[in-house]
Amino acid sequence: MEVPPILIHTHFHGRRTGVTTSLENIMPFLQTDFDASILGYGVKGRKISLVSVLKLVAQKQRFVLHCHRNNEMLFALLLRLLGGNFKLLFTKHADNMPSAITRFLLKKADVVVSLTQRMLSTIPCKAVVIGHGVDQHVFIPGEKKSVPEIQQRNIILCAGRVREAKGQKLLAEALAPVIGEFPEWALVIIGKVDKPPFLKELRKIVSDNNAANQIYFLNETTGIVDFYQAAHTVVVPSYTEGFSLVCAEAMSCSCNVVATKDVGIHSDLIVDGKTGYLFESGNRDQLQAILVQLMDGKLSHLGEAARKEVAQNWSSKVEAARLSEVYSSR
C-alpha cells in the first residue's frame, strides 16, 4: 500500500482568525490524499508535535510545509538551515503592501499563494491564486430561526470584528435614519469589539436617530450559523479585507448579501443583482438605497443563487482540491 505524502500546515497564533477557520475547513478534505496535520496551537484538527517535525528534518524525509504568517516562515527557514527537505508554501492573507521582512519571506517560498487576483499586485514574486473555501456541510440554509434578543421579524446582520475598517459606522449611518420606517426590521451587529470607544460611537449614531429599539449590538458567538439562518440579509461593508469569509459563509447559508465592491473577494463572489448586491466603498447613500429597497420588497432575495455560486467555486472541497494540485506538482 502506497504511503500518502506528508503535509504540514503551521498555525502559530492564539487568536481565531479567518486563517484558523480556513485550516479547520480544508484539513478533512486534504487528509483524503495526504498524511496531513497541523503544527501549532489555537486551531482544531489533527496535530503533529515539534519533536515529530524535527525527526522528519533529521531523517531528510520529504514533506510539504505550508505557512501562513511571518513567524511561521521564519521557523520554516530555520528548519531549512537544519537540513529540512520540504516544499515550502506561504499564503499571503492581507491585501496591503507587504513590509520589507514579508517581501523577503515571500521570495524564500517555493510557492506563494494569493487569496485573490487583486492581491497579486502586492506580491513581489510569482504566485498562484487560491481563495478560501466554506464548509458547506456546516454553513447551510435552514428553517428561518428567531433570535430571542430580537423583537423584529426580519433581520439585517453584520457579523465580524467590530472595528473601523469593517465599516459598521457606515452601515449605522446608512440604516439608523430610515429603519424606523420599517418597524418589522432590525439591524444586528455582532462580533468582538476591538476598541470600546468605537462601539460608543456606533451607539451614539443609533441613539441620535432614536433607533435603539431596532439596532442591536451582540457579543461574538460560536453559533454564527444560527444568526445567518435567522437573517434575511447580511451586510459586509468593509473598507478592506484579505478575503472576506463572512461574505462567503453568509452566501453558503443562502443569505441575501450586500457587500462593498472591489474589497477582498466580494466582486468575485458577487455578480451584482444576480448573486448579491454591491455598493461603492464608503458610499453611504448607495448602501442606504439598496437596504431601503430590500426592506420595501423592491429588490429580490438572491440567496439561492448565492449558495450555488459558493458550491461551484468557493467551497472548502474546491479549495482543498486546488491546493492538492499545487502540493503534488514538481
207/163 same-domain check: yes
Instruction: Examine residue 138 and state whether it is found in any structural domain, yes or no.
Output: no
239/266 same-domain check: yes
In this prediction, residue 1 carries a pLDDT of 54
Instruction: Examine residue 142 and state whether it is found in any structural domain, yes or no.
Output: no
* pLDDT average, residue stretch 260-265: 92
112/189 same-domain check: no
**Domain around 98:** 6-133+315-328
Whole-number Å distance between alpha carbons of 53 and 235: 43
The CATH number of the domain holding residue 38 is: 3.40.50.2000
Which residue, 3, 26, 1, 23, is CA-closest to 11?
A: 23
pLDDT band at residue 17 under the 50/70/90 scheme: confident
253/294 same-domain check: yes
Taking each helix axis from N to C end, the angle separating 168-175 and 284-295, rounded to the nearest 10 degrees, works out to 60
User: What's this model's pTM, rounded to 2 decimal places?
Assistant: 0.84
Cell of 49: 508535535
In this prediction, residue 45 carries a pLDDT of 95
pLDDT band at residue 306 under the 50/70/90 scheme: very high
DSSP string spanning 245-289? HHHHHHHHTT-EEEEETTSTTHHHH--BTTTBEEE-TT-HHHHHH
303/172 same-domain check: yes
pLDDT band at residue 296 under the 50/70/90 scheme: very high
Whole-number Å distance between alpha carbons of 168 and 103: 32
- pLDDT beyond 80 at 2: no
304/324 same-domain check: no
Instruction: Examine residue 147 and state whether it is found in any structural domain, yes or no.
Output: no
247 with 269: CB under 8 angstroms?
yes
Q: Is residue 81 exposed (0-12), middle (13-18) or buried (19+ Cβ within 10 Å)?
A: exposed
In this prediction, residue 243 carries a pLDDT of 87
Task: Summarize pLDDT for 56-82 with one digit per residue, the tens.
Answer: 999 999 999 999 999 999 999 999 999
- pLDDT beyond 90 at 229: yes
Task: Summarize pLDDT for 149-196 with one digit per residue, the tens.
Answer: 898 999 999 999 999 999 999 999 999 999 999 999 999 999 999 899
269/257 same-domain check: yes
Residue 90: strand pairing partners? 67, 112
Phi, psi of 254 (to 5 degrees): 65, 30
In whole numbers, what is the pLDDT of the chain averaged over residues?
94
175/37 same-domain check: no
- pLDDT beyond 90 at 330: no
Task: Summarize pLDDT for 76-121 with one digit per residue, the tens.
Answer: 999 999 999 999 999 999 888 999 999 999 999 999 999 988 889 8
pLDDT band at residue 281 under the 50/70/90 scheme: very high
Q: What is the tally of structural domains in the chain?
A: 2
Contacts of 80 (CB under 8 A, 6+ apart): 86, 88
169/238 same-domain check: yes
Distance separating the N- and C-terminal Cα atoms of the chain: 23
Instruction: Examine residue 74 and state whether it is found in any structural domain, yes or no.
Output: yes
296/242 same-domain check: yes
